[in-house]
Amino acid sequence: MAATLSFPREKIRVLLCEGIHPSAVAYFEERGYTQVESLPRAPSPSELRDLVKDAHIVGIRSRTVLDRDALAHAGRIFAIGCFCIGTDQVDVESAAERGIPVFNAPHANTRSVAELVIGLSIMLERDAFRKSGLVHAGSWPKSAAGAREVRGKTIGIVGYGHIGSQVSVLAEGLGMRVVFYDIVPKLPLGNAAPVATLDELLAASDIVTLHVPQTAATTNMMDAARIRAMRRGAFLINTSRGVVVDPEALAAALRDRHLAGAAVDVFPKEPLSPEAPLDSPLRGIPNVILTPHVAGSTEEAQEKIGTEVAGKLVAYSDRGSTVGAVNFPELTLAPHGPVNRVLHIHENVPGMLQRINSVIAAEGINVLAQHLETRKTVGYVVFDIERSASTALLGRLKAIPGTIRARILY
Ligand code: NAI
């Protein structure tokens, strides 16, 4: 009787849109999820509505919009995976109200960004990018003047988070001195040295690389005064967010040679199509490397995103774990072994736990473990119980006023 309650993995329909990396399909299939459909493109809004009707798990990238309306047509979905960094394309609060956790992979491309920063540092110090352009154009600027090794130079890392700290490790491997500035005290890796102020970092660095999030404090953080506070002949690298640097001030400092070069991957206003030109005062300035917001875009990062998000979806589907959900109470749950696990998602109102407990107590069920977490309007409670769950118990749990969803795992 109990076994019929469990939703078998082979009956769980997984819909993946927008050519998500095959690593995700493989991850699901290797764990017994046989109904995985992978669309190579973004479905149109009407197509999406049809597709999501029967899906239990939906995976998207940045071009598929799951707004309140689309979610209203997706009665079966119990988890959403954004196989990318951001989750703006999903109405995550509306999903939470429907008891649907949303997962993403915010740091899967950390290493890719860090590697490019090191590559850009070398290209800038060697003046290699400008020289390459000259050779393409037909000249042969063979000279050591102005070309330097990165070894022994000081790199100043602004924002010592996931990416900044990786840059730190790689830069030290090349024999660079590392200083960093962060508003939160951070454990320095290797011989990296924290500095107390941004201005101290700017005065000490041959290369300044930015790895901060976009906040009120970081918007226009590198304004004209800060750019002028950098050493004469230094380099600036921005792979963080476009608004962190004032592009006009940077262009002016490059034109009058206060800075010897820059590498910029992110811009306040980025083109919306591959054909559209970038509108930036930095275009055309020598020794400025411009890349189209690709610092984190590598095949390895895509593959990692595939397994990371699929892993979070499977952890939720198989054992109720919501680690890494962006919109949901987070519970870290180990596999439950030979017991039943009850998942109850409800409105975060007083008395809920007591009502759920009374239903379980009335069944005479022995509770082995209980976990509760709440976030905003949603509460999530998980019980491991002795193997005695029944369809009747599930029905009674679902009947509790304020219940959003309930599931029993075996
Ligand atoms: P993270 O959140 O791990 O680290 C950010 C660090 O900046 C934290 O340590 C934080 O304390 C620090 N911070 C915040 N405000 C600060 C301030 N005012 N001054 C100094 N430090 C401050 O973020 P992560 O993953 O390292 O990403 C960094 C940036 O890189 C983000 O802006 C992200 O959007 C961007 N990014 C860009 C990519 C690209 O393709 N160009 C790819 C991935 C991330």
Start-to-end CA span in the chain (Å): 12
Q: What's the CA-to-centroid distance between 75 and ligand 1, angstroms? A: 36
Ligand 1 atom 35: residue of nearest CA:
240
Question: What's the one-letter identity of residue 343?
Answer: L
Q: Report which secondary-structure segment, H or E, holds 317.
A: helix 299-319
Long-range contacts at 246-251 (CB < 8 A, ≥ 24 apart):
246/220, 246/222, 247/280, 247/281, 247/282, 248/281, 249/222, 249/223, 249/224, 250/222, 250/282, 251/281, 251/282, 251/285
Catalytic residue annotation: 241, 270, 293
Spell out the per-residue pLDDT of the chain, length 410, in tens.
333 345 789 999 999 999 999 999 999 999 999 999 999 999 998 899 888 889 999 999 999 999 999 999 888 999 999 999 999 999 999 999 999 999 999 999 999 999 999 999 999 999 999 999 999 999 999 999 999 999 999 999 999 999 999 999 999 999 999 999 999 999 999 999 999 999 999 999 999 999 999 999 999 999 999 999 999 999 999 999 999 999 999 999 999 999 999 999 999 999 988 999 999 999 999 999 999 999 999 999 999 999 999 999 999 999 999 999 999 999 999 888 888 999 999 999 999 999 999 999 998 889 999 999 999 999 999 999 987 667 888 999 999 999 999 999 98
Q: What's the CA-to-centroid distance between 293 and ligand 1, angstroms? A: 15
Tell which atom from ligand 1 comes closest to the C-alpha of 218: 18
Dihedral Cα 182, 185, 191, 192, nearest 10 deg: 0
Question: What's the one-letter identity of residue 165?
Answer: S
Does the CB atom of residue 165 touch ligand 1 within 6 A? no
Q: What is the pTM of this model?
A: 0.90
DSSP string, 383-395: EEE-S---HHHHH
In whole angstroms, how far apart are CA 251 and each of 30, 122, 259, 268? 52, 21, 9, 14
What is the distance between the alpha carbons of residues 85 and 276, in angstroms, rounded to a whole number? Answer: 23
All structural domains of the chain: 11-108+298-328 (3.40.50.720), 110-290 (3.40.50.720), 329-410 (3.30.70.260)
Is residue 71 within 8 A of residue 96, CB to CB? The reply is: no
Tell which atom from ligand 1 comes closest to the C-alpha of 159: 7
Q: What's the CA-to-centroid distance between 380 and ligand 1, angstroms? A: 30
Does the CB atom of residue 295 touch ligand 1 within 6 A? yes
In whole angstroms, how far apart are CA 209 and each of 11, 151, 198, 201, 238? 49, 16, 12, 11, 6
Does the CB atom of residue 86 touch ligand 1 within 6 A? no
Ligand 1 atom 36: residue of nearest CA:
240
What is the distance between the alpha carbons of residues 40 and 63, in angstroms, rounded to a whole number? Answer: 12
Q: Which residue from 197, 240, 243, 291 has its CB within 8 A of the most atoms of ligand 1, so it is best to mutate?
A: 240
In whole angstroms, how far apart are CA 338 and each of 136, 244, 385, 388? 67, 52, 10, 11
Which residues are within 8 A (CB) of 115 and not within 5 positions of it... i.e. 6 or more apart? Answer: 170
CA atoms in the 13 A half-sphere facing the CB of 168: 24
Is residue 17 within 8 A of residue 58, CB to CB? The reply is: yes
